[in-house]
Amino acid sequence: MRRLMLLGPPGAGKGTQAAYLAERYGVRHISTGDILREAKAAGTPLGLLAKGYMDRGELVPDEVVIGLVKERLAQPDIRERGFLLDGFPRTVAQAEALDRLLEELGMPLEAVLNLRVDPELLARRLTLRRSCPACGAVYHLENRPPKVEGVCDICGGALVQRPDDAEETVRNRLAVYSRQTEPLIAYYTGRGLLVEIDGEQPIEAVRQAIVEVLEPAGR
């Protein structure tokens, strides 16, 4: 039962790789961004609170996000299937809270996969990304175009551009990342959990690099 985390800046490919890894290892994909976007679309109090922060590319307050993850990790399927965190934690306070939660659950992290990508490339990935709000599939106009323009290959839903993928907001998200999230690289290096993955390779090569780390030959 795997207990994994994908770390990396906006656009690094966390969601893209998470979809594959969740299938390969049967783990539960926990994306705080997806949870918050669903709440936003449903117009719940959580969604209304999160909207302003998300649309500006700022982080939603720690206590709100920590509460969400705490609730999700406590569900029984996590113990059976394990987890893959994507987009959480994003601050040192969140990482410390996660350590406590996982200790209480007796489910320590196994590895933190840090997807490294140059900021110039990130901006390009984000502004050309298209997503399917219905099933969560992620496309890219150049790197991973859908078979039919504007239509999801998987569910036939209409593809949209995330509001926070507008150029101005992308710049802010990248700045927020360097300020608040990048320190987690040192945090997890210090705990002996960090594994560097070259996220600039094509999608399949990144996938292969991760699998090689998680399934070392001869193990």
- Name the catalytic one among 40, 125, 162, 207: 162
114 binds ligand AP5 (CB under 6 A): no
Please report which helix (H) or strand (E) contains residue 194, including its range. Answer: strand 194-198
The span of 21-29, 151-159, 186-194, 196-204 binding ligand AP5 (CB under 6 A) equals 196-204
Interface mask toward ligand AP5 for 58-77; x: CB under 6 A:
xxx----x------------
Single-letter amino acid code for the residue at 177: Y
124 is catalytic: no
Residue nearest ligand AP5, Cβ-based: 33
173 is catalytic: yes
Give the residue among 158, 154, 14 at the shortest CA–CA distance from 84: 14
The span of 9-17, 110-118, 179-187, 193-201 binding Mg ion (CB under 5 A) equals 9-17
CA distance 169 to 129: 14
The span of 8-16, 20-28, 75-83, 152-160 binding ligand AP5 (CB under 6 A) equals 8-16
78 or 140: CB nearest ligand AP5: 140
90 is catalytic: yes
Give the residue among 162, 128, 125 at the shortest CA–CA distance from 34: 162
Place of tokens 């449903």: 42
Query: For residue 212, what are the CA distances in angstroms to 17, 59, 75, 116?
Result: 14, 32, 30, 17
The interface partner of residue 143, options being Zn ion, ligand AP5, Mg ion, none and the CB cut-off 5 to 8 Å by kind, is ligand AP5
15 binds ligand AP5 (CB under 6 A): yes
The count of residues in the chain is: 219
CA distance 67 to 77: 18
